[in-house]
Structures are given as C-alpha cells and as structure tokens.
Amino acid sequence: MLYDMHLHSNLSHDAESTPEKMCETAIKNGLSGIAFSDHCDPHITPLNKMLEDAKRNHRVYDDMKKEYGDSLYIMSSIEIGDAHDFFEGTQQVAAALPYDSVIGSVHVMKDAFGKHTPHTQIDFSGFSQDAIDEYLNAYFNALEFIAKKADFDILAHLTLPIRYISGKYNRAISFEKYMPQIKRILSVIIDRKIALEINTSEIGKTLNDTLPSMDIAALYKSMGGSLITLGSDAHVADTLGNGLKEARDMLLQNGITQACYFKDRNPIFYAL
Ligand SMILES: [Zn+2]
Ligand SMILES: [Zn+2]
C-alpha cells in the first residue's frame, strides 16, 4: 500500500503527461492512490488566473475520480508556492476549493534586485560559500514563515535547494548550521498538524536521497511528529511513484512505520 501525494500532470506549466496517463501509470505500478497537485505559482500567475486554473484543475481531478476511481484512490490537491511573498493571493486560492490536501512550498525568492527567481533558474556554480549560506538562510526563513502562517496541510521538500545546489551544481552543503531553524519549523508543523513530506524525486538520481533526508525525518519523529507523506513530485508519467518503495524501507529502518494520505484535508494513516 503506497500513496503518491505529490505529482504534476500537464495542467502544470512544467509537466508533460496527461492526467489520464498519470492515472493509468499509477494503476499499472500498483499504487493505492495519487494526489494530483498541479502548481499554483504566484510569481508568474495573476490571482484571477490562479483561481481559474485551480477551478479547472479541480474539475479535471473530479473527472479522473469518475473515470479511474474504482481502481485508484484519487485526491484533489494543489501545490501552492511562495506564500512568504504572495500571502493574500495564495491564501485565497487555498480557501477557494474543497481540496483533499494542500501542499505548501518555497520555490522562489527575491534576488538583490527584488526579482523573484526560482531555485531551478539559478546558476549556483559561481556562488561563494557565504552566498550559498545566505541563500539557504533566506530559504529557511521563508519556509518558517509559511509553516507559521500559511494555510496548507503538507510541507513539501523541506531541503529543496540541495536538489539544485548539490544535485545539479555539485556544491557540497551541510544543513548542520540550520538545524536550530529546521527544528523550529518541525515544531511548528507538529503543532499545526501539518504533515512532513518525504520527497522521493532524487532517489536514483545524483543525490540518491530523500528530501529531507532520514536524519530530519527521525528528528521529526523524536519531537512527536507522526504525519508523514510520500511524494515522487513526478512531472512526467515515467517517474510517477519514483523512489516510494526505497523511501518506505528507509523510513521503516528509522522506526517510522506509518504514513498518511488525505481526504477533505484530513490525514488518514496507513501502515508502511
Ligand atoms: Zn515543489
Ligand atoms: Zn511539485
């Protein structure tokens, strides 16, 4: 039994496969359920378009539930980016529809000129160590803000910048100095009953690890956290469910024996 709680269909600007193809692949791969979580990206989308897209996506997910619901538990979710800099609009989108779950993410931050640039578009190869530190510090500040203030159910890819800084640009980083801040974020999401996502997109790739890694998952558990979701963050059907089994084994090795999926924004536990 495994649920992929984070994936993108071609309703997202950066993803390729149709929702039908995602459902058919999930069934073929033996997944128990999937949560469609197409992007809501306020740095490139005006509010009325975000609301329009969210409504359209929700209708498509309902159609998928009708078409594939007998073989697959399908959830209507949304990945809402960057509430730290786009608070009002993102909160309106979060409240607009009866989602099964809402994912909160930090994908973009303001650069020195006040321009919002996604982590994906930054060339970290020329960054000094201090500049990388400054970047990570700003990232965790933004994440702490959304953890405290924004309306969402699942905190996505807590250590996301490592996907680019180390995974793409091969720059070594350690989260050691951010552990006090990471602990504060974990403490807030535990209090607010927000789930910690174990993002499996990098399993089998350069990093070959989960985001966040198991030391942070174990810390979350030791602090009393029990809401864990697994998400492949697939942007194409071929990677749907990528790394879920490996992550399950890693969680079990760390004494984490259950994860959850969502219905009507409430977690439902299942045994790993
Ligand atoms: Zn994301
Ligand atoms: Zn995503």
**178 contact partners, CB below 8 Å, separation of at least 6:** 136, 137, 140
Residue 71 φ/ψ, nearest 5 degrees: -105, -10
pLDDT per residue, tens digit, the chain (272 aa), is 999 999 999 999 999 999 999 999 999 999 999 999 999 999 999 999 999 999 999 999 999 999 999 999 999 999 999 999 999 999 999 999 999 999 999 999 988 778 888 999 899 999 999 999 999 999 999 999 999 999 999 999 999 999 999 999 999 898 999 999 999 999 999 999 999 999 999 999 999 999 999 999 999 999 999 999 999 999 999 999 999 999 999 999 999 999 999 999 999 999 99
Question: From CA 266, how far away is CA 218, in angstroms rounded?
Answer: 23
Span from the CA of 68 to the centroid of ligand 2 (angstroms): 22
Kindly report, residue by residue over 233-260, the tens digit of the pLDDT.
Answer: 999 999 999 999 999 999 999 999 999 9
Q: Measure 39 CA to ligand 2 centroid, in angstroms.
A: 7
Q: Provide the Cα torsion 13, 27, 6, 39; round to 10°.
A: 20
CA–CA distance, 193 with 270 (Å, rounded to integer)? 17
pTM across the whole model: 0.97
The domains of the chain, with CATH numbers, are 78-271 (3.20.20.140)
Q: 79 CB contacts (<8 Å, ≥6 apart)?
A: 6, 8, 37, 38, 39, 40, 103, 105, 156
Position of tokens 């309106």? Answer: 92
Ligand that comes closest to the CA of residue 235:
2
> Which ligand neighbours the alpha carbon of 160 most closely?
1
Q: What is the pLDDT of residue 115?
A: 86
Compute the distance between CA of residue 44 and CA of residue 40 in angstroms, rounded to an integer.
9
Going from the Cα of 17 to the center of ligand 2, the distance in angstroms, rounded, reads 14
CA distance 241 to 251: 16
